[in-house]
Amino acid sequence: LQIHVHAIGDAGVRIALNGYEAARAANGETDNRHHMTHLQLISDEDVPRFGEYNVGATFQPLWAYYDQNAIKLDIPAIGERRTAEMYRIGSVHRAGGRVNGSSDYFVTDMNPLLAIEVGITRQDPWTNAGAPLNPTEAVDLETMIRAYTINGAYTMGLDDVQGSIRVGKRADLVILSRNLFDLPPHSISDTYVTETLFAGETVYQSAE
């Protein structure tokens, strides 16, 4: 069984990681691709455990800025210091963990381009304003693209079928209006999909 856990606080994250550790000790190394989602707070000592246990870290990067929830709910509940430590995408990535991107739709917007931008800027993608939420946790564009493509495919056990453009893989892909690597980060969310292919067949084309 591949286990999918929702964990928000650092205590919950640690308990889940302890469970994965115990399962590995009991069952040995397997190709199970467990993962954990949300991960709002992760303690320093638990950051490297995602890579050590091959547990995917599934974040919702669109939440990694000072939105109204952070200001009105998180800061009063856990304080400014701990709020500033939320969504440690960069730390997990640098420690060798596999970062996955997710939307938690329909709670928030499912557009991955918005989330990719926030993962890089740690700022509001609509206004580009305000102080970034702990910019040391930002990652680069390539890391964010992998989080929304091959890393997700790996977690589902489908990395040999999809998740990257390779001969022999299924052509599930989108074509964007602009090359993201040619843009300043704050312009990423202004990009749009011009065409979507599923198994090599066009299933969507924009009016443009």
Q: Is the pLDDT of residue 42 over 90?
A: yes
User: Which band of pLDDT confidence, cut at 50, 70 and 90, is reported for residue 107?
Assistant: confident
Q: Tell me what the pLDDT averaged over the chain comes to.
A: 96
Q: Which helix (H) or strand (E) holds 17?
A: helix 10-27
Question: Is the separation of the CB atoms in 101 and 62 below 8 Å?
Answer: no
pLDDT (0 to 100) of residue 69: 87
Alpha-helical regions (H) of 40-108: 49-52, 68-69, 75-83, 89-94
53-78 per-position pLDDT tens digit = 999 999 999 999 999 989 999 999 99
> What is the greatest pairwise CA distance in the chain?
56
Cα(115)–Cα(143) distance, integer angstroms: 12
Q: Is the pLDDT of residue 183 over 90?
A: yes
Q: Is the pLDDT of residue 162 over 90?
A: yes
